[in-house]
């Protein structure tokens, strides 16, 4: 499945903004916690990316950094 997820992700050219809503649904408890450490938030995002969108470390880390910046900006606190 991971192999096909990578192929599908590459074919669809999904951007961080396209993936983020699905991460939020899967990890909203972590993302809503104001006291979560940034390392934890990045780890959740990177793990989600690698499980659902393939094992590309560079893209997973990029997604993790994107989510951390959104977390810092308060995007998930509602």
Q: What distance in Å separates the CA atoms of residue 2 and residue 38, rounded to the nearest whole number?
A: 26
Would residue 57 count as lying in a domain? yes
8 Å CB contact between 45 and 70: no
Would residue 77 count as lying in a domain? no
* Residues 18-56: tens digit of each pLDDT: 999 999 999 999 999 999 999 999 999 999 999 988 788
**Containing domain of residue 12, as a range?**
2-72
Would residue 78 count as lying in a domain? no
Q: Based on the structure, what is the number of domains in the chain?
A: 1
pTM score > 0.75 for this model?
yes
Return the minimum-mean-pLDDT range out of 6-10, 38-42, 66-70: 6-10
């Amino acid at each position: 499945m991971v192999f096909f997820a990578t192929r599908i992700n590459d074919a669809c050219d999904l951007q961080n903004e396209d993936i983020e809503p699905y991460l939020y649904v899967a990890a909203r408890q972590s993302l809503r916690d104001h006291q979560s450490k940034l390392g934890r938030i990045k780890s959740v995002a990177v793990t989600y990316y690698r499980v659902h969108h393939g094992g590309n470390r560079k893209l997973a880390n990029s997604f993790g950094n994107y989510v951390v910046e959104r977390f810092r900006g308060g995007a998930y606190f509602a």
